[in-house]
Copies of this chain bind each other. A is one copy, B any other.
Amino acid sequence: MHPLLEKKGFILDVDGVIGRGDKPIPQAVEAVNKLISMGKRVVFVSNNSTRSRRIYMQRFKEFGVDISEEQMFLTTYVTATYIRQNYGKSKVFTTGEAGLAEELKLAGHEIVDYRDADILVVGSNRQISFEILTKALRMCLDRDKIYIATNPDKIFPSEDGPVPGTGMIIGALYWMTDRMPDCICGKPERVIMQQALEYLQLKAEEVVVVGDQIDVDVLAGKNIGATTLLVLSGVTTRQNLNRMVEKFNTKPDYILNDFSELFD
């Protein structure tokens, strides 16, 4: 039996672990369902900042993973929850898409124009515009406004090539105003991982953090003191592994070709 199967909980990345884009990795999905049937506590953490959990559930159903919305920590939800816990129900302006707005409203926040907002929430937006960027800029210039970002990813490796991540907006605002977010909620930062641990009701030592990116998933696991498992079914491959380990100066505790090898 693989030593990681002694752990009580698993915090799993989605893309590159149980699927690639909208296509599942069937043997990895099977492994997740096996873990669940063994009584392991499982949650998913994703830096996706454009979709609500309601929308993401659809993908999990199509993949054939048997989990509930509560086991799904997307940065849309995590950011909305973080703001609620730290600032109460708030007036927010967001650069983000409908999925982020949906989670913000579900958490009790009000989406308002930038002049009336107390909190700027930066998330990726495929409809980003000069107007949205102008409003975000003006909020950043006002040091009384709180500034929260969903996730730090600079580039997202989409199926047809690299596209800007939420980090593009963070970088643009930093360049213009010398200001970084007061909090970034997504991996490798701690907020998303802490919410996952809290749901699992486990300590970091009792869980494995699983993902395909060293600088995102493995680092997120190390940042909370969890055991880390890198799978080579996504961004990191057998070919670029050594280069990635060197580049990010971070070594995962375990490496598998894909998640199903946990049961080999």
Contact = CB atoms under 8 A, between A and B. Distances in A.
Given A171-B175, A172-B168, A130 B125 contact: yes
Contact of A175 (B128, B129, B154, B177): B154
A247 B256 CA distance: 53
Nearest to A133: B164
A163 B137 contact: yes
A137 B155 contact: yes
Interface residues of A, number: 28
Interface SS majority for chain A: helix
A175 B174 contact: yes
Interface of A: 125-130, 133-134, 137-138, 141, 154-155, 161-165, 167-172, 174-177
26 contacts: A126-B130, A128-B128, A128-B129, A128-B133, A130-B163, A133-B164, A134-B162, A134-B163, A134-B164, A137-B163, A137-B164, A138-B162, A141-B162, A154-B176, A155-B177, A165-B176, A167-B175, A167-B176, A168-B172, A168-B176, A170-B175, A171-B172, A171-B174, A172-B172, A172-B175, A175-B175
